[in-house]
Structure 1
Amino acid sequence: MTVSMSDPSAVPAGAAPVREAGMRVQVGDGLGVHVRTWGERPPSLLLVHGFSHGGFVWRSLAAAMPEYGLAAPDLRGHGDSDHDPSRRYSIAAHVSDLIEVARALDLRDYLLVGHSLGASVATLAAQRLPRPPRAVVLVDGGPGLSPTASAHIREEFLRLKFRYRSPDEYLEYLQATMPLVPPPLLQALAVDALERLGPEEFRLKADRALGYQDQAASVEDELWQGLREIRVPLLLVRGAASALCGKRWCEEFSARVPQAEVESVQRAGHAVMLDNPSRFNALLRQYAAQRLAPRGAAPLHVQEAV
């Protein structure tokens, strides 16, 4: 395993000043995984993004938590991490990569947060990380999700144009498909998601091959088992308008994982941290203040989501 540092990146317009840096971690299969970091090291939050996105989706959270160190890897095939020429994009591969990232960051007293695909990765990695997290936060993700909705996400991804004349052209697509996201975050997302190839040529950073990755049927059982084995506090944050984590799914989740706390964020769909960043950031900041406080601190009492 080798680690190399890259140049700091800018914070999106409208966000509070916060220093962002980058590093690369050499993982299995000879690939390099890019990791964004904010604040002090070692980080207090390890953040795992969802399908087709990248660690850049957590910038608003980083700006809202300047007193904490945060780290957000780009999963292989996503963001600024390497594409795998052999298309090894299984959840197991992502879990192995996350373990290497955690080792490189020397994580000690931290929260593990995963969104969507990242929630599955976090669930299976929680018991295998070099040091266990203080708590695990799943953001609109977990086992038992609607197979129809999941298939729709992959199909929409494969139908995407992968080349654009400018970030503004891609922004038009994002505005149509992510109407709840505040304009500054959407504009930053349009820039972060693209790689410049020439003066008027940009390409999506996510590997198209991600859309062909079928999840093994056995992963569902592994995820439910993984949740039962988590011995630290567990919080599920779902978007109240999410098409994946609907009320019926949430009821099943609570019945099968009774130790988990559940919070619903209003005016948010699947991309909770982007759709309603002010509420999501406040919730995570409060949760971190309690779970990263000395052991024995009072349990979480979150005000009603707005």
Structure 2
Amino acid sequence: MINGLRLAVREWGPPDAPPVVLLHGLRGYSSTWRTLARTLAPSHRLIAVDQRGRGDSDWDPGRNYYTDSYLADLEGVVDSLGLTRFHLIGHSMGGTTSYVYAAKHPTRLAALIIEDIAPGSSARGAGAERIVAEMAALPREFATWGEARAYWRKSRPMLSAEAIEQRMAESLREDAKGRIAWRYDAEGISHTRIAPNPQRIVDLWPAVEALRVPTLVIRGERSDFCAADTVREMTRRNSNISSVTVAGASHYVHDDAPIPYAQHVGRFLAAHPLGSS
């Protein structure tokens, strides 16, 4: 139990290999990292967390789906696993938590990799508006698996048929009435994304400017969420930050371009082993 909730963790790779902690995005789950694991697992211990309200982790009855809660969960998970030093990778919402953790615990990390999120991404712009609209219009359930499949195909047109089936298996379940429902707290998470408590919204600039950890920001060329100008400003303000743009990829870089994504991740981790400062 971490902060009163049971948080599920999925692992790949040798238990004695250098650990890499993985944090998924707003509507993600731990197995979203499966493709990356195929590349990294032979030489790394990958630890992916089902963040509160998602996957096999408990839903939060208090709907504390905010960065401060995710940060406390991450701190609890890595401490419970005995991780004194590790690499950290976060996508979107998971990237927000990763920025804040890295700024707070710089000596715990050998390297930080952020996928497609920057200061202001969640607050404004086409991507933020798209996600709020998607959450507001999200069906709470589907009558059939075919209906659910059609929804996934429309919302993520770049995914292969195999990837669609994988996401359906991981993100949906059939309830006792035969309806197809989400495996995450869609109502609670939607509520905190659409009408958040303003006092719990995080400004990422202080964390970005405070980073003392080697940091790579991976941005999708077609991203509507992570502004290229903002990423350039990040690298200008903090010399510990570098960036790369992946051609053809949207906000979901690890899905849209898994091979170049894994190559960028692998090279950065190799350049910053656990023993480095």
TM over 0.5: yes
State the match for 1:170 in structure 2.
148
Cross-structure match for 1:201: 179
Q: Contact 2:13/2:41 (CA < 8 Å) preserved in 1?
A: yes
Distance 1:144 1:253, change over 3 A: farther
Corresponding residue for residue 70 of structure 2: 94
Letter aligned with residue 216 of structure 1: P
Provide structure 1 residue ranges, at least 5 long, that are not aligned to the other structure. Answer: 1-25, 297-306
The equivalent of 1:34 in structure 2 is: 8
Q: Residue 133 of structure 1: which of 86, 99, 109 is its match?
A: 109
1:52-89 CA distance string (max 9 Å, x none): 11111111001122211101111111122111111111
Q: Which has the higher contact order (CA 8 A, sep 6+)?
A: 2
The answer as to 2:190 corresponding to 1:211 is yes
Q: Distance in 2 between matches of 1:285 and 1:66?
A: 11
Secondary structure of 1:157's counterpart equals helix
Is the contact between residue 110 and residue 292 of structure 1 (CA under 8 Å) also seen in structure 2?
no
CA distance in 1, matches of 2:75, 2:62: 21
Q: What SS class does the counterpart of residue 35 from structure 2 fall into?
A: helix
- What SS is found at the alignment partner of 1:111? strand
Q: Cα offset for 1:140?
A: 0.3
Q: Give the TM-score, by structure 1 length.
A: 0.81
Give CA-to-partner distance per residue, 1:137-189, whole Å, 9 cap, x none. 11001312251432431331231112224544322222222122233222211
User: Aligned match of 1:54 in 29, 34, 44?
Assistant: 29
- 1:124-273 equivalences in 2 (<5 Å): 124-129=100-105, 132-145=108-121, 147-148=124-125, 149-198=127-176, 200-207=178-185, 208-213=187-192, 214=196, 216=198, 219-221=201-203, 223-273=204-254
Larger helix share, 1 or 2: 2
Q: Is 1:104 paired with 2:86?
A: no
RMSD: 2.2
Q: Distance in 2 between matches of 1:59 and 1:288?
A: 18
Residues 1:259 and 1:189: Cα distance change in structure 2 (over 3 Å):
same
For structure 2, the residue ranges without an aligned partner over 5 or more in a row are none
SS at structure 2 position matched to 1:134? strand
Letter of the structure 2 residue corresponding to residue 143 of structure 1: P
Pick closer, same or farther for the CA change 1:251–1:232 going to 2, 3 Å: closer
SS of residue matched to 2:58: coil
Q: Report the more deviating stretch, 237-246 or 153-162.
A: 153-162
Change in CA separation of 1:105 and 1:130 when aligned onto 2, cut-off 3 Å: farther
8 A contact 1:193–1:205 mirrored in 2: yes
- Look up the SS of the partner of 2:154 in the other structure: helix
Which whole-Å CA distance do the structure 2 matches of 1:117 and 1:140 have between them?
Answer: 10
Q: For 1:274, which of 240, 252, 255 is the aligned residue?
A: 255
CA distance in structure 2 between the partners assigned to 1:128 and 1:142 by the alignment = 17
Spell out structure 1 runs of 4+ moving beyond 6 A.
none
Distance of 1:241 and 1:144 partners within structure 2: 17
Amino acid in the other structure paired with 2:184: A
Q: Does the residue aligned with 2:268 lie in a helix, a strand or coil?
A: helix
Deviation at 1:290? 2.0
Q: Distance in 2 between matches of 1:40 and 1:77?
A: 28
